Structure formats: C-alpha cells, structure tokens
Chains A and B, each alone.
Chain A
Amino acid sequence: MKRIMLPLSLAFCLFAGTALPSCKGKEKKAETTTTTTTTAPQTDQTYQSPVQVSGDQQITESLRTATKDFPGVTATANNGEVTLTGTVERDRLTTLMQAVQAAHPGKVNNQLTIK
C-alpha cells in the first residue's frame, strides 16, 4: 500500500503544482514553458548498434530479484558496473551470474568467495 501511496501523492503534487495556480487569478499566467529536447545519440554508423547499458536504478531493481534467494550475496550497481561480494556455493554461481548478467549491466565484477 505504501508503494502505491508514494506515486499517488507525487502525482497529486504534480497535479496541484500545475493546475492549482490557474485557479488563483487571471493575472498570473504561465511564464515558463517546458521544452524537451531530444538529442540523437552520436553513433558511428557501423552495422551494429551500441550496447545499451541500463541505468543504476533499473539494474538495482533487477539485482534485487536476482539475489533474492542468495542471502550471502551483496550486489551493487555503480555507473552500470555491478560488483558482487559475499559468499556463494559453486553449484549456484551460474544461476546467480545468469540473472545478474541479464540485468543489462555494463560490466560485472565478481568478487565473491566461492565455497
């Protein structure tokens, strides 16, 4: 429920912030305009597109699922680079790595102690 309340309250704040001033008076006009500029990524025109590395927030979310059943493992993401620390059994290492590498990280540093 809390997880729902936060986005809801954020959405209300956004709504209130944009909609409510218009009720205050006609003299107040919107003075700011939001401009969104999209910059096309500079890609060299090779036959392959560059590797898309996910953002840290998205990677962290995926890592949470990946490491849920690995209580001895800590996974952190920093600038797309994932670092694994802690302890894991060797016969479960592949399962863990499969899930971690599916999170679209840029790199995985395996610093795990393997039993």
Chain B
Amino acid sequence: MALQDKYSALVQAAQQAGVRNLQVREQNSVLYIDGEAPTGQVKDQLWSVYNSIDPDYRSGDLILNVNVGADAAGKRARVTTQESNLNVRKGPGTDQEIIGKAAHEDYVTLISKANEQWWLVRTSSGVEGYAAAQYLSAE
C-alpha cells in the first residue's frame, strides 16, 4: 500500500480530471495507473504531478499509462514536436513510407486511434495518414 500512498495525489488528480476506466494496480513493487484522459492537457497535468512526486522519474516504481482515449476521434490535436515537422506515414510504424508532414504547432484532426503509439490523422492540408501519438496533444 506504500506506493498507493506515495502517489495518492496523482490518483486523486486523475479522478478529479475525469480520467475514464481508471485502474490503479500494484504488482511486483510497481504501481500501474492506467486510464483514458479526456484531453492531452489532462495527460500533461498528470505527468506534472508524477514528476513532482518522483523528480525526473527516477524511482522506477510507477508506470503511468494514461493516454488520450479513442473517443478523442474527431477532435483536433496540436503538433507538439520539439521544433521539426511531424511525419505522416502510410501505416502505423516508423518503417512506413512518409506521405506528408504536419507542421510544428499546427493542428491535425484525429480520425482513429491505431494503437498506443499511433493515430490516424488528417493534416490541415488534407493528407490522411498515421502520426506518432507522443507528438499529438488532443484539445
């Protein structure tokens, strides 16, 4: 139970922010928090709480897997790359052909979630393809 106490502020924040299908499980001395965030902002807020409890994520005792859920389909998402443009690919994988780009800080439309790593998106120029979820922040 010690881990649940350590991260209780995070679990509370997730509950208050309306994270759906929230699961908090402890297994082999690691706490797993899973769920679906309504927006990318909520996800970032939770990670900020995580980082304040465990600075630089050093402890290795938490797996926070709260991502924007599939029901964000249809919403807009901001391209949150460091500075470069985001590759839009033919399929969900870095080995897939690049068929377009989404500009840094531009918006794309989320069409459907392929898996935890990839979203099918439509860029502002109309190209449809797969983009890495880690660089998309759903509004």
Interface residues of A (CB under 8 A from B): 3, 48, 50-51, 61-62, 64-66, 68-69, 90, 92-95, 97-99, 101-110, 114
Looking at chain B, what size class is its interface with the partner chain?
Answer: 20 to 34
Taking A66-B117, A108-B60 as known contacts, 12 extra A-B pairs with beta carbons closer than 8 A to each other, sorted by chain A number, are A51-B63, A61-B93, A65-B94, A94-B48, A95-B134, A98-B134, A99-B134, A107-B30, A109-B60, A110-B57, A110-B58, A114-B56
Once A65-B93, A65-B117, A97-B57 are accepted as A-B contacts, the answer to whether A105 and B63 lie under 8 Å apart by CB is yes
Bound: A98/B50 CA distance, A: 11
Report chain B residues within 8 Å CB of A97: 47, 57
- Contact between B56 and A64, CB atoms less than 8 A apart: no
Mask of B37-56 contacts with A, CB within 8 angstroms, 1/0: 00000011001100100001
Report chain B residues within 8 Å CB of A95: 80, 134-135
Bound: A64/B132 CA distance, A: 11
Report chain A residues within 8 Å CB of B48: 94
Once A69-B82, A107-B63 are accepted as A-B contacts, the answer to whether A98 and B43 lie under 8 Å apart by CB is yes
Bound: A50/B133 CA distance, A: 25
Bound: A70/B94 CA distance, A: 14
Q: Is B6 an interface residue (CB 8 A)?
A: no
With most chain B CB atoms within 10 A of its CB, the pick from A48, A93, A103, A107 is A107
Q: Is B123 an interface residue (CB 8 A)?
A: no
11 A-B contacts (beta carbon < 8 Å) = A50-B25, A64-B94, A90-B56, A93-B56, A94-B47, A98-B64, A101-B65, A102-B134, A104-B116, A108-B60, A109-B60
Once A62-B116, A105-B63, A106-B28 are accepted as A-B contacts, the answer to whether A98 and B47 lie under 8 Å apart by CB is yes
- Contact between B47 and A102, CB atoms less than 8 A apart: no
Bound: A104/B116 CA distance, A: 9
Q: Of all chain A residues, which has the CB nearest B118?
A: A65
